[in-house]
Chains A and B, each alone.
Chain A
Amino acid sequence: MDVAIIDYKMSNLFSVQAACQKVGLSSVITSDNNEILNAKIAILPGVGAFGKAMKFLGNSKLDDTIYQFVVSGKPFVGICLGLQLLFDSSDEFGDYKGLGLVKGKVKKFQFHSYESIKYPVPQIGWNKINSNGISWGKTLFCNNHNNDFMYFVHSFYVEPEDESIILSRTTYGNTEYCSSIQHNNIFACQFHPEKSGEIGLNIYKNLKKEYC
């Protein structure tokens, strides 16, 4: 199996699977330890609450499976909440511990006005990814361009300690935040590539080309 889409009962996994199918990646939606570890690629998707997700990952021992997969060196992809869960902690409704695979914190957007425009929370909609001068040539972004539009749905954003892992930044009102990272074999993004039209599908196409 090419891709294990990790099922922790918190999101629309259908769209991730539909994107895999569109680019010719075989995939399975699963919470099974062996099925995940035997896949060539693992994707951790997710929408929803950090605390609830961590609780489920802990109770089902999926956190151990994720550690083992990442240590194996095979490509691991986090999407949206799946990016945030990789970090040390989140300040969502109290302080929650994350998987701790990436050093840093998860913070909440504040509703605000900027240049007389209101910025609602959650941010729901399209926004640009900015390369910040980093070359995307050897990453899953190799067919993407600076300022490409991606689809975002989130109230929280990540703040990595090590800025060199930041692949792109995005600006929402007065807040500039990290919208994707590449950390060893982990690629993770705040936006939903499977909901970002043909431009987002490029990331899935590259996943197939590079790794399968």
Chain B
Amino acid sequence: MKYIRIIPRLDIKGPNLVKGIHLEGLRVLGKPEEFAKLYYEQGADELIYQDTVASLYQRNSLTDIITKTAKNIFIPITVGGGLRSLEDINKVLRAGADKVALNTEAIKTPDFITQASRSFGSSTIVVAVETIKQPDNSYLAYTDNGREYTGVDVRSWVNEAEDRGAGEILLTSIDQEGTGNGFDLELIKMVSDSVTIPVIAHGGAANDSHIFDSIKDSGADAVAIASMLHYAALNKNGDLVGNFKKEGNTEFLKKKSSFKMFGKENISEIKNNLINKNIPLRVLN
């Protein structure tokens, strides 16, 4: 049996958990470590922390949040955002991360993947691929949270990443990300058919049917989900609201607004629904 992983993805800006659409327009949602704890208790299989501005400002601000999380949460934590050197990777691993996700620097210098997988082991190195579908239906990789065009073709890039020792691919459709319109199934299928390492699908999930499709139709080994969990958590767990550092765009939280297109289920409810559709998943005893 292969058990599919459900992985909450927490985008971080400064001290706060944020969420945008198409990786932009970030809204503050709360304290990341509190959401992380909630997701751990509900049966999350791993966590992803993505520093959304580290690449832009060339800083690594996540280490405090990682350490606070890793002391109490005993599932794997992947950290991405602004990792440019073996020393950067070492720093977040020492802070408590189990894996790192590399994008911008890996595209700039592909040998970084080779060096990193040799130094830390393939299973520690996740290559994050953020892609936009082009008018000719090809997929190109972008860096710096979707801001920078690279011209790199996704299919050949994931093959190269695997050859260079990547242990997993974290595949983000920037077109779908934050929209709640469902995953880009064609993209996920293309990538999972191209590599023999696990593929984590990310971008677009609003409900468990979307997750089901990404697994059944496209062969995803894991899914990373964000908006649908965060908005459900804010709906159900009132005490999470208001618990954030007053930095960034907090208008969304103050208005207590919501997004109708996202489901209201937490991780354990999502898992139960998927198990009823015969998707093999880990459940808590």
- Whether B98 lies near A126 (C-beta < 8 A) is no
Known: A125-B222, A126-B3, A172-B2. A10 touches B121 (CB 8 A): yes
Q: Whose C-beta in chain B lies nearest to the C-beta of A194?
A: B74
- Whether B282 lies near A126 (C-beta < 8 A) is yes
Give the interface SS of chain B, mostly helix, strand, loop or mixed.
loop
- Contacts of B195 on A, CB cut-off 8 Å? 120
- Whether B2 lies near A197 (C-beta < 8 A) is no
- Contacts of B197 on A, CB cut-off 8 Å? 120-122
Known: A18-B71, A126-B45. A118 touches B168 (CB 8 A): no
Q: Does A173 contact B (CB under 8 A)?
A: yes
- Whether A120 lies near B196 (C-beta < 8 A) is yes
Q: Whose C-beta in chain B lies nearest to the C-beta of A120?
A: B198
Q: Does B177 contact A (CB under 8 A)?
A: no
Q: Does A209 contact B (CB under 8 A)?
A: no
Alpha-carbon distance between A122 and B121 when the two chains are bound, in angstroms:
11
Interface-lining segment among B27-35, B88-96, B127-135, B143-151: B88-96
Known: A119-B2, A124-B123, A125-B5. A22 touches B72 (CB 8 A): yes
Alpha-carbon distance between A198 and B222 when the two chains are bound, in angstroms:
21
Bits for B266-285, please: 1 = Cβ < 8 Å to A, else 0: 00000000000000001111
Q: Does A103 contact B (CB under 8 A)?
A: no
Enumerate B196-255 residues with CB–CB distance to A below 8 Å: 196-199, 219, 221-222
Distance in Å from the Cβ of B250 to the closest Cβ of chain A?
32
State which of A12, A154, A194, A200 has its C-beta within 8 Å of the C-beta of B97. Answer: A12
Number of interface residues of A (CB under 8 A): 43
Q: Does A31 contact B (CB under 8 A)?
A: no
Q: Whose C-beta in chain B lies nearest to the C-beta of A147?
A: B285
Q: Does A15 contact B (CB under 8 A)?
A: yes
Q: Whose C-beta in chain B lies nearest to the C-beta of A172?
A: B2
Q: Does B76 contact A (CB under 8 A)?
A: yes
Q: Does A149 contact B (CB under 8 A)?
A: yes
State which of B95, B97, B168, B285 has its C-beta within 8 Å of the C-beta of A124. Answer: B168
Bits for A195-212, please: 1 = Cβ < 8 Å to B, else 0: 111111100000000000
State which of A19, A47, A118 has its C-beta within 8 Å of the C-beta of B121. Answer: A47
- Whether B1 lies near A12 (C-beta < 8 A) is no
Q: Whose C-beta in chain B lies nearest to the C-beta of A170?
A: B1
Give B contacts to A, CB under 8 Å: 1-5, 40, 45, 70-72, 74-76, 93-98, 118, 120-124, 167-168, 192, 195-199, 219, 221-222, 282-285
Give A contacts to B, CB under 8 Å: 10-12, 14-15, 18-19, 21-22, 47-49, 111, 117-122, 124-128, 145, 148-149, 151, 153-155, 171-173, 192, 194-201
The 10 closest A-B pairs by CB, nearest first: A48-B121, A126-B282, A111-B196, A149-B282, A153-B123, A120-B198, A47-B121, A14-B96, A126-B3, A125-B5
Pairs across A and B, CB under 8 Å, 19 listed: A11-B121, A12-B96, A15-B96, A21-B71, A48-B124, A49-B121, A118-B192, A118-B219, A121-B197, A124-B167, A125-B2, A125-B221, A126-B282, A148-B285, A149-B283, A155-B123, A171-B1, A173-B2, A199-B285
